[in-house]
Amino acid sequence: MTGCGGCGNVKFDGASRAYKRILWIVIAINALMFIVEMSAGVVADSMALKADALDFLGDTLTYTITLLVIGQALRWRATAALFKGISLAAMGAWVLASTVYQVMVLGVPDEMVMGVVGLLAFAANVVSALLLLRFRDGDSNVRSVWLCSRNDAIGNVAVMIAAAGVFATNTAWPDLVVAAIMASLFLYSAISIIRQAIGELRQPEAALAAESVEKAM
């Protein structure tokens, strides 16, 4: 078992059957929700739902990358986390830009579809976050999975709040405000992941020494 809480600065790297099994479940949940939400977005002609569906697709791909690099050298795991951090930052920019486009060009979104599908997406992300909760303090590769699931659950709550605001005001501004908050959360988490990944990449010799000690035990 690598990266236990009592092993000094060595962090859990995901190399356990329990974590891999949970990660497969979370990947399946995200892939299914991508299909469901993208279909709903097409039917309802909702840009917000399509954007959130792409979020599920992005999580499916990044979680698969996480699974592939488990057990690899720290440099590979940190590089994967760095890629996911950059992707999360791009996603934050995309959420903000797509919602601004919807407000300025497409008009008021369908609050009923936003609320119903947002609730379903929230349930899926809460299940994923709860499954990953005990693995939230691992290395940058493992931690990035937890942060993505947590952010998605918070984002779904925000979407439902935005839907209520759109219904109450009959304007799209609540959607824009919530999107700005969501984008800020994505960017904050991206910076956190990128910093941890860069820190791990800058200390390869110490990390390799720690891994050698683990393997010898």
What are the DSSP E strand ranges found in the chain? Answer: none
Global confidence as pTM: 0.66
The CATH number of whichever domain residue 114 belongs to comes to 1.20.1510
Q: Residues for the chain: how many in total?
A: 217
When mean pLDDT is compared across 19-28, 144-153, 173-182, the lowest value belongs to: 173-182
Whether 88 has a pLDDT exceeding 50, the answer reads yes
In a domain, 10, yes or no: no
Residue 152 vs residue 5, higher pLDDT: 152
Number of domains in the chain: 1
Whether 145 has a pLDDT exceeding 70, the answer reads yes
pLDDT, residue 25, reads 93
Whether 212 has a pLDDT exceeding 90, the answer reads no
The domain containing residue 189 runs over which residues?
17-216
In a domain, 9, yes or no: no
In a domain, 202, yes or no: yes
pLDDT, residue 32, reads 94
Residues in contact with 79: Cβ distance below 8 Å, sequence separation at least 6, in sequence order: 197, 201
pLDDT, residue 7, reads 41
What does the alpha-carbon distance between residue 43 and residue 38 come to, in Å, rounded to a whole number? Answer: 9
In a domain, 85, yes or no: yes
In a domain, 5, yes or no: no
Q: Are 140 and 196 in contact (CB under 8 A)?
A: yes
In a domain, 90, yes or no: yes
Q: Which helix (H) or strand (E) holds 10?
A: none
Whether 105 has a pLDDT exceeding 80, the answer reads no
In a domain, 12, yes or no: no
Give the tens place of pLDDT for each residue, 153-196.
877 787 788 778 878 888 777 777 777 777 777 788 788 888 87
In a domain, 171, yes or no: yes
Residue 13 vs residue 5, higher pLDDT: 13
Q: What 3-state class would DSSP assign to 149?
A: helix
Average pLDDT, the chain: 75
Whether 123 has a pLDDT exceeding 80, the answer reads yes
Q: What percentage of the chain has pLDDT greater than the value 70?
A: 78
pLDDT, residue 6, reads 39
